[in-house]
Structure 1
Amino acid sequence: MPKVIIIGAGLSGLSTAYGLRNSNFDVEIIEARPRLGGRIFTIEKENSQLEMGATWFGPQHTSLMELIKELKIPFKTQDNGAEAVYDFRPKGNIERFQIPSQDAATYKFNHGTSHLIETLAEASSAKIHFDEVVDLISIDEHIQVSTSTTVFDADYLVLSSPPQLISEGIEFRPKLSETFNQLLQDTHTWMSDSIKFSIAYKDAFWKSQQFMGTLMSPHQIIQEMYDHSDSNRNQDALVGFLNSNYSHLTSEERKEKVMGLLESYFLDEKTHLKAYEDLNWRNETYTIPKNAKSLAPHQNNGNPKLRDSLFDNRLFFSASETAQQTPGYMDGAVHRGREVADFLLDLSV
């Protein structure tokens, strides 16, 4: 039985494993973190779901939608209301604007985005090794994948980690070509520039003040914010992205500034607070290396060279950034993950 090793237990890697679930391949996944999901991460706190990673999707994300329906994972429409608050301070004022109607709906998962990951991992039935950081890949007649404690043997290898992380963190023997390695370094890592925050409250007090939760600001610590409440779960929450200029602060320091800003909008905001979490993805060692260069958003995402199989169709790259369809998004991760699985299935015929 040929062995397939997948590096990374995020959405792409799990999608490949799921695509191979009924095949004659022996599939194992190596994951550096102690958890599933990669850049999908839902924190359960105070009976609330605080989203730190990927959250939203739409009907245009056809590969993701197909998988969700296949796994029977419930989702619902994100309601951003008809009006948003724009905070132009200190160069302007706080103003309200009508939100243009959208042609396509925006969805989110009923039980948090991590529910997708957990369901997919269970359905794939692949063995997953946690807390194993790959530092060496040797390829000759067979493939050997080495961590600090273990050597894994494989016939086929699927790298679902972000391209920048692969380039900086893994030694290849023989080496990858300089041109290809440079392409990996120059491929932007989705979420790597983001600081995601989520706040759970005792109630949706902002609605009584005729505010639907949608906030935009070019200069304040909160750059984007949306209502993330769920009446079915009795959850009232706000979620969004923080200004990257505050990345040098600790999470607690950012929390103080976020609370202070929200208090300027809602005088009694702190009395409703249940939980606050934020995550600076730039500091996530297993998402992006510390010395990675700054790149334009989505730079080289979807580059066809990233979908080339190497070493006689034995080595594949499958992170969302490599996808032809919606690269850098959850849909891209599913699309490329399933594409690699289909390619391997064709090889086994």
Structure 2
Amino acid sequence: MRKIFIFIMMSMIVSNSFSQELLFRATFDEKLTDEVGPYQITPKADLVPTYVDGKYGKAISLNGANIEYYDVNTTLTAGIDPKTNAMTYAAWIYSTITDAQRDSAVAAGTSGLAEQQIIHFLGTGNTRVVLHTVFNDVTSNIATWGATGASIQSTASNCIARNEWQHVAIVTDPTAKTVTFYVNGAQVGDVITVEEFKLVAPGNGIYRIGAHKLGDRSGFFGYLDEVCMFSGALSVEQIQKVMANNYDLAAVRPVLSDDVRILSNPVKDVITLEGVDNVKQLTLLTLDGRNVLKSNRTNTLELPGVSSGNYLLKVELTDGTLGFRKVSVIK
């Protein structure tokens, strides 16, 4: 099946309130590109990407024995801390791990399980596994290391299959102190209450897809497709839409109107936003997502010391609407 995805970049990026926003989406359609924003996807050193037929379009192939992985610079999401904000992570997975590979991984580890990483925070200190699968000779499961001091698994065992496509998702809510797992668009097991959340955003703002942050273990055997990350807790209906390759959450999103625009773009000393009067915050970002300047509750942003170049203006409104505009600065 060929993948169709309609995306309008820079001049008309639309989002919902900060509580529900698609932050990152890797389709792996023979490209290492984030379909949402200016995030960078970088393969392990000397790794040449291998693409196979995916659930939608193409998928990335990973050889867990070689600990193959891809790192994602998500600097633009700095401030969206999963220790304080609800998050949703999802992916299509096709595990090809054999009994021999499983047994070898079990023997090499300390948990009695063959862990296959899907999404992991990459950083020093107390960063954590976001989403992975686990196997041994009697069970398979979906799990996270995102809270307390050990792996948290779904209470529904044997929910992960081998050699077939499955959609997996996890919703983490640090306010409610809950973790909820989904497989193929349905909740699996109970909503799990945890004592403490330990999903800490790494200081370098990087996720790893397909292996442990240490780069020497827990490699994924098989294929990954449509790896994505949302701020906010998606409902089961929204997860089912994502599973169906429908990322349009417009039904729950206030859209930044086309009438909201930058006056006299390119600009020199000040950015003036017109067409809106309920601005909560304006943030000037580099194209790779680094913060440059901010202003609160005003339609203008002065540019002292800002060099000539192309930037993104992040627009947050008081009703929760969030959007981006491309702006050129000429000094």
TM range (shorter): under 0.3
In terms of fraction of residues, the more helix-rich structure is 1
Q: TM-score, normalised by structure 2?
A: 0.25
Q: TM-score, normalised by structure 1?
A: 0.24
In terms of fraction of residues, the more strand-rich structure is 2
